[in-house]
Amino acid sequence: MKTETINELSVTSKSVLMHTTRRFAKVLTETPEFLAFEQSYQAFRQDQKAQTAYNALQNKQQALRMMMMLNSLDEKERQELKDLESQFYQEETVQNYIQAQENLVELCQDIGDVLTEAVGLDFGSSCRIGGCCG
């Protein structure tokens, strides 16, 4: 099947498009992958240890942002960042959240593939964020 870019398609009425989009979003938010993602996000937000690790990492990254941009961190600073990242990613709720996010992304990619096949629109290409790199 030939796929087309969004500029080559004739689009249905706005009301039909909005109705269909709302129905699609409702079904998506009822999938086990989306529900697991939401649940894992809430668990992460309520996990004080994970939040403390997250804040420590964010604060250190912010303090060293300019040095990171200039690629001029010394070994001690690099190790501090690495240790904070390791502490953060070792938290169970963080691991669960990341896994749930990966599962949801995979589902959305599968949906994109189905849409591409069904409507002949290269869904992934048409949904890229603008800019020089797509």
Query: Could you tell me the maximum CA-CA distance found in the chain, to the nearest angstrom?
Result: 59
Distance CA 113, CA 4 (A): 14
Residue 123 lies in a domain: yes
Distance CA 20, CA 12 (A): 11
Which residues are CB-contacts of 11 (< 8 A; sequence separation ≥ 6)?
17
Owning domain of residue 86: 48-90
Residue 8 lies in a domain: no
Distance CA 36, CA 103 (A): 9
- What's the domain count of the chain? 2
Domain match, 59 and 25 both:
no
Residue 5 lies in a domain: no
Ordered per-residue pLDDT tens for the chain, 134 residues: 555 555 555 667 888 888 988 999 999 999 999 999 999 999 999 999 999 999 999 999 999 999 888 988 899 999 999 999 999 999 999 999 999 999 999 999 999 888 888 877 776 676 655 544 54
> How many other β-carbons are positioned within 10 Å of the β-carbon of residue 75?
7
